[in-house]
Structure 1
Amino acid sequence: MTPRLILLKIYNKFYVFFYNKSKYYIDLIRGNTHINFNIPIIKTSYINIKELNLSNIDPDVADYLSKMYIQHKFDLLGSGWVKNSYDSAALGLERYKYDMNVAAPASAPEGYEPIDWQKDFKSGFRWSEKKWYKDQRIAHKPGSDIKVPWELARFQHLPQLAIFTMADPSLKEQNLKEFKNQILDFIRNNPPRIGVNWTCTMDVGIRVANMLAAYDMFCQMDGGGILDQNFKQTLSNSVYEHALHIVNNLEYSPHLTSNHYLSDIAGLLQACAYLDGGGEIDAWLAFALQEITCEMKKEFYEDGGNFESSTSYHRLSGELMAYSVALILGLKSDKISSLQNYDAKLWRKKPKLLPPEEQEFKILDGQIALPQWFVDRLYKIGRFTADITKPNGEVPQFGDNDSGRFFKFSPNGEFLSSEQAARKYLNLSGFAGGGEPFWDENILNHSALISFMGGIFDDEIFKNDMRFERSFVRSLAGRTLQVSDKTYKSLIISGVKFGELSHRKSIEFKIPNSQEIKKIFYPDSGIFIFKSNKFYLAICATPLGQNGHGGHTHNDKLGYELWINGRDIARDPGTYLYTPIPDRRNEFRSVKAHNVPIIGDLEQNSWGEGAIGLFGMFAECRCEVADFGENFISLAAEYKGVKIIRKFEIKEDGLEIVDMANREFYYSKFELYSNGYGKLSRIGALNE
């Protein structure tokens, strides 16, 4: 760096430090960080509940989950169905367990027990409700997981309460009151910029979107005035505070934006669509729409896959895109008019807000027209998920899986007994459900995203049993989009030549005869699929991800998932945890956790030491297509002097996998398996 650039970086560091300190002291001196004025009460509605298809909502599940949420029992990130209150005891995370309970606030409504929003109710660790949001430490104590309070405070259970109320009107009064009380509980005990739930802007964006979706639906069912004017004013103020927080805390970098930034702007879009327009709100709305368009090009490949190199993060980012597009298509006429004459100078953050005439989106005949390349790529996002889905409805688990969602509308899973759940999942050791049923969410079923896309595109590939999501998006958007390019991207052979590889091993599997096996290749995403009704093979050769940063990538290159005739034969082990137990994080993303050729103790890509290394890798492995044909594909991997070619060939009665390397190699037998963040079982347990 030049001396001038070094001085500029030092100046910026000092500027940010003193700016944050000044904001910190202002918030502490004020004592109350809520806005000191009332914004117009939100009266806009985008969701017509009469158009929603509830036929896939099981009334037994609706009744069960409503009861759990009202009792403040949540199963989040592997917690099991446990109560979160100020005096609840934690089950513990592996060997870590904390008792940090404090007295509950005294101002709760009669009959309502407050939720402890600052507590990781898995380990029992509690963050301070008095600390400024930027002073909260993420990896605080071993076993503590900040994602747990963040996940609860996303409020993704509140739209479900509204949906369950529509499915079973007898639940209306209790669910309306619970929605109101939880919103007021959160607002009262999580003032802006104070406590753990303002630390991550991504979660602020997801939260405000879920607040608004639930509010929109509940308002249409509230014939008795449970949601009174005082409540509506309080909620409307909070929506503005959420939007303001997002604007002032964008997770933006000119070098890298990811699902976090996409969540920020998706939440901002939702808030601005509902808030009364004018001035800054119009500029915020225009910025959100501008950045949704920009992030499509940055975060999604031309073939439709996501640049995080994770099938689960593809689902999260795909939902963010699909719902944002649906809302953009359904924006009210006054919002559309504002996009033609907003004042770009009112936006003083980075990146820059372009004036109306320079935007890629256009206003035609009173409607927003998105660029055709954008529409085509959105379609391919949905098709990617449909294509990678196994016949059993689940997706392969390549890369990280933190169970992240934008909205969780239709419940997706199965009932177990508490005893079955405790036997199935090692993380529930010691769990006592009191004989109650245990709803086990299927996090690997991504059919909701496919259904979302069915609300935007009339295409058979997006029709499935998740009918609510399709009707919700169709109600929101009010119209569908037309695709101009449905072609698959061509696969190009790299032409890599390793010469003679002296070490060779092969693996064979029997497959059903007379199967018409279709091959589907995603070259940008590095995922290659062979599938039929009774056979499924997905092969991983994903890029490092995040433009080479590798934050959510695993050392799974040349790995595969195999499903034959109704049974999983080989599965990626998943993720399990991030920061609570760093050794577990590294164990699950290591080469030894995957069904790939292993050379000594070498990792395909190395990572840094300590907490900073948990979300990044060094780009050391090159993985490319060496050759392919009608019934085979060969992939080459090269790293740290290692050269490997792995060939997958489908023959008349079987699959043969041949590995060749320039050094002696072996296969590891990893016994652990995680089908969702925080969930832990043993290989084979989920097939029993």
Structure 2
Amino acid sequence: MKTTKKIMNKFFSSNSEIKKIIIKKALVKLNMNYFLYKYENMHYIKNKIPKFESLIDYKKINIDSLDTKKLDIFSDLYISHKFNILGSGWVSANYNAKVSGIENILYETHNKRPYEKIVREIVDKNYSLIDWQRDLKSGYLFDAEETSTSIKNLPQGVDLKMPWELSRMYHLPQLAIIAILMKEKRIAIIREFKNQIYDFCESNPLGKGVNWICTMDVSIRIVNILISYDIFLQIDEYGILDVDFNKYLQTHILKHGKFIKRNLEINISNTKVNGNHYLSNLCGLLFVSTYFRSRETQKWLEFASREFLVEFQKQFLDDGSNFECSTAYHRLSGEISSYSIALLLRNHIELDNEILKKMNSIAKFAILVTRDNGDMIQIGDNDSGRLLKLDLKQQIELQNISRERRKRDGIVNDPFVENELNNYSLPAAIFAITNLNDLNNYAKKSPIDFSIMNALVNQNSTDCQTVYDFSSYNYNHNVDVTGLQSKFKHKKTTTIFLPYEDIILNNSVLNFSPHFGIAVFEMDNFKLFVRTPTDLEDMHTAHIHNDFLHFEMDFENKSYFCDQGSYIYTPLINKRNQFRSVRAHNIPNHGIETNDFVDCFNVRTNIKGEVLQLSNNSIELMVCFNDIFHYRKIELDKNMIVITDKSSHFFDYTCKDFDYVSSGYGRLLTQNVRHGLRITSV
């Protein structure tokens, strides 16, 4: 009743845009999806298409570091419609292709492809159609004629994210970059782009099927289409993208823009906050309205600019960290924000120093949670979400498999493994905006992201050298530890010995993010990451894990005691809960969860805590949940890491590596647990 009252209050106090969204959400709740679909399509009238303005000069994209042999194979995979989607391995996305299933769940594919005949009349005769509506793991095929808002209550093992991920079109900008480098493949790649656009748009009518459910995916899709289209138009010296196609695609781009504007992912209850979905919606509008200039798109630009600046300040905390309790979502929202900021600058929208300082802090936080090998540590959820996947140099690793063997085996063995944890692209992109001196090296580490962002900003970059100081760790704790000593009836001391006696860990440098909650001790070839308690009242907790007090270590380019990752969301809810549970982290286990998982994205937070003490060689932490008090001290002493745990209740704790880890959404890897370290417990 309280929530209903808040929604009504918000309705009557909101502008017309919010009112429309509340009405539409009410129609969905009332199962009036057909009328909603008809209402939506009334407003997609074909008006005169405004002029398309190129934003990225392809000649400025730095492709010098790319390996043509690798990319030749890579482009062949995409042109033959083989994709590696969220841990699927390289599988065919053509009609009725074989899939492997997930956790022994496999669905038979029916032959209902209602738009097949229409598509075949438009595309080239030798083009194979893509199964855009299919989950390429479970094999489940969504109904392409069903109203998108009606799709719900899916069978076990079916993952909406599989068709969504393919339809985000991450591969199109990658193909465009390859076409710049490899002129001999341009004709084939541009024709493939043209055919895939026809194929997708005709197979996925507006508001029908799985790929119009989530406005975030629509937003990411149009960003990837626009950037790839911009590049392809410049290098198409063959006239492949003719007048008819350009009119067709530009019409659909504007339809995407109108859909985003009319389906903004705003939380209508005052009890909730907006998250990365709404941020991506605004980014999508900024892209469409910057590429196309008209009265209508100017309104989109003004709206998105105004809303973005408000959301940006809410969603990123004072130390630059994102409020969604996740390093992976920090990267995602950071990418969305950096490209949005670039477009604001491109449109000559003035930004104050507070915004630019926060951009720098976003980059520095990303660096803070990055290992020496360039991979981010996983805290909280990781769904492998990105705005763009541009840097083929960093993100794609080539395995030593011959072309002949791959042809023989039908791509059974993955020739490429996507490194979904690499964290160089975000600092590189932000350096193109603010020119922060500390980020200069990342332009070299991720040259494509830097050069594309640099081209997008188009000489409108700024010079901002202010940034949050993570080395200044002032804090106030409110817990009287002395008064709790009598409650600490259970104690355990764990000592980790590094293999070299001449290491002096006491000399580590400490950096601390108080708002996100992470402390990092660092010296040559050594990093210790400690997940510290933070005030969850400031956070959006849908993606939080039960990980307070967790720590993990990097030593001599090897990682130890790592967070297990996330693995999967809605298809296997038990697995989801397993990977975000206490047992999946390097923390004491009291037999109960520190926070309650109400459903897939709803967490009832119970835990509170404080950082009691910080220095360059030690940290003391306290957490409280369900009347349990637990104290943990981590101390660096010569070549030892000493962990002291005290608790008011019995607990179990063993410092070890886990048998399985997930390095990205849908990917489950067996880990070598023989770390070679001596560990004692008393």
Same topology, TM > 0.5: yes
**For the structure 1 residues 685 and 237, does the alpha-carbon distance in structure 2 shift closer, same or farther, using more than 3 Å as the test?**
farther
Q: What's the CA shift for 1:443? A: 0.8
Asked if 1:263 corresponds to 2:280, the answer is yes
**For the structure 1 residues 23 and 9, does the alpha-carbon distance in structure 2 shift closer, same or farther, using more than 3 Å as the test?**
farther
Partner of 1:218: 232
With the length of structure 1 as denominator, give the TM-score of the two structures: 0.87
User: Which amino acid in the other structure matches residue 286 of structure 2?
Assistant: L
Distance 2:539 2:319 in 1: 18
Q: What's the CA shift for 1:486? A: 2.2
Q: What's the CA shift for 1:447? A: 0.8
Q: What's the CA shift for 1:530? A: 0.9
Which among 514, 517, 536 is matched to residue 523 of structure 1? 514
Distance 1:27 1:235 in 2: 22
Partner of 1:175: 189
Partner of 1:428: none
Partner of 2:452: 472
User: Which amino acid in the other structure matches residue 221 of structure 2?
Assistant: R
How many percent identity over aligned positions? 33
Contact 2:324 2:330 in 1 (8 A): yes
Which among 108, 115, 140 is matched to residue 130 of structure 2? 115
Q: Which moved more, 1:669-678 or 1:374-383?
A: 669-678
**Structure 2 SS opposite 1:650:** strand
Contact 1:117 1:153 in 2 (8 A): yes
Partner of 1:589: 580
Distance 2:3 2:360 in 1: 48
Distance 1:404 1:542 in 2: 25
What is the RMSD of the two structures over their aligned residues, measured on CA atoms? 2.7
Residues 364-409 of structure 1: CA deviation (Å, up to 9, x unaligned): xxx3211221111011001111122111211110000000000000
Distance 2:51 2:77 in 1: 29
Which among 291, 298, 305 is matched to residue 314 of structure 2? 298
Contact 1:34 1:192 in 2 (8 A): no
Partner of 1:97: 106
Runs of 4+ in 1 over 3 A off after TM superposition: 1-23, 25-30, 32-36, 431-437, 542-549, 685-688
Distance 1:70 1:246 in 2: 29
**Structure 2 SS opposite 1:580:** helix
What does 1:95-494 align with in structure 2 at a 5 Å threshold? 95-102=104-111, 105-106=116-117, 107-108=119-120, 109=123, 110-137=125-152, 139-253=153-267, 254=270, 255-278=272-295, 280-331=296-347, 367-411=348-392, 412-416=395-399, 434=411, 437-462=414-439, 463-464=441-442, 465-477=445-457, 478-483=459-464, 485-488=466-469, 490-494=473-477
Contact 2:329 2:381 in 1 (8 A): yes
User: Which amino acid in the other structure matches residue 644 of structure 2?
Assistant: V
Which among 573, 576, 592 is matched to residue 567 of structure 2? 576
**Structure 1 SS opposite 2:491:** strand
Contact 2:609 2:624 in 1 (8 A): yes
Q: Which moved more, 1:103-112 or 1:564-573?
A: 103-112
Contact 1:400 1:575 in 2 (8 A): yes
Distance 2:546 2:283 in 1: 31
**Structure 2 SS opposite 1:684:** coil
Contact 2:436 2:464 in 1 (8 A): no
Which among 462, 472, 496 is matched to residue 479 of structure 2? 496
**Structure 2 SS opposite 1:455:** helix
Q: What's the CA shift for 1:587? A: 0.5
**For the structure 1 residues 306 and 71, does the alpha-carbon distance in structure 2 shift closer, same or farther, using more than 3 Å as the test?**
same
Distance 2:608 2:4 in 1: 36
Contact 2:356 2:434 in 1 (8 A): no
Q: What's the CA shift for 1:58? A: 2.2
Q: What's the CA shift for 1:583? A: 0.3
What does 1:632-671 align with in structure 2 at a 5 Å threshold? 632-667=618-653, 670-671=658-659
User: Which amino acid in the other structure matches residue 570 of structure 2?
Assistant: T
Distance 2:675 2:167 in 1: 33
Distance 1:217 1:117 in 2: 24
Distance 2:662 2:382 in 1: 9
Identify unmatched segments of 5+ residues in structure 2.
12-18, 403-407, 677-682
Q: What's the CA shift for 1:614? A: 1.0
**For the structure 1 residues 202 and 627, does the alpha-carbon distance in structure 2 shift closer, same or farther, using more than 3 Å as the test?**
same
Partner of 1:334: none
**Structure 1 SS opposite 2:65:** coil
Distance 2:87 2:390 in 1: 19
Asked if 1:674 corresponds to 2:662, the answer is yes
Asked if 1:624 corresponds to 2:602, the answer is no
Identify unmatched segments of 5+ residues in structure 1.
332-366, 420-430
What does 1:491-570 align with in structure 2 at a 5 Å threshold? 491-498=474-481, 499-500=484-485, 501-511=488-498, 513-514=503-504, 517-541=508-532, 543=534, 547=538, 549-570=540-561
Q: What's the CA shift for 1:682? A: 2.3
Contact 1:491 1:523 in 2 (8 A): no
Partner of 2:81: 72
**For the structure 1 residues 579 and 6, does the alpha-carbon distance in structure 2 shift closer, same or farther, using more than 3 Å as the test?**
closer
With the length of structure 2 as denominator, give the TM-score of the two structures: 0.88
User: Which amino acid in the other structure matches residue 495 of structure 1?
Assistant: N
Distance 1:506 1:273 in 2: 59
Q: What's the CA shift for 1:572? A: 0.2
Q: What's the CA shift for 1:56? A: 2.7
Distance 1:251 1:394 in 2: 30
**Structure 1 SS opposite 2:71:** helix
What does 1:13-24 align with in structure 2 at a 5 Å threshold? 16-18=25-27, 24=34
Distance 1:371 1:9 in 2: 33
Distance 2:142 2:42 in 1: 19
**For the structure 1 residues 15 and 507, does the alpha-carbon distance in structure 2 shift closer, same or farther, using more than 3 Å as the test?**
closer
**Structure 2 SS opposite 1:618:** strand
Which among 598, 602, 605 is matched to residue 595 of structure 2? 605
Residues 297-340 of structure 1: CA deviation (Å, up to 9, x unaligned): 11000000000010000000000011111122123xxxxxxxxx
Contact 2:492 2:645 in 1 (8 A): yes
Aligned length: 634
**Structure 2 SS opposite 1:554:** coil
**For the structure 1 residues 216 and 656, does the alpha-carbon distance in structure 2 shift closer, same or farther, using more than 3 Å as the test?**
same
Partner of 1:350: none
**For the structure 1 residues 377 and 212, does the alpha-carbon distance in structure 2 shift closer, same or farther, using more than 3 Å as the test?**
same
Contact 1:555 1:589 in 2 (8 A): yes
Distance 1:479 1:251 in 2: 30
Partner of 1:364: none
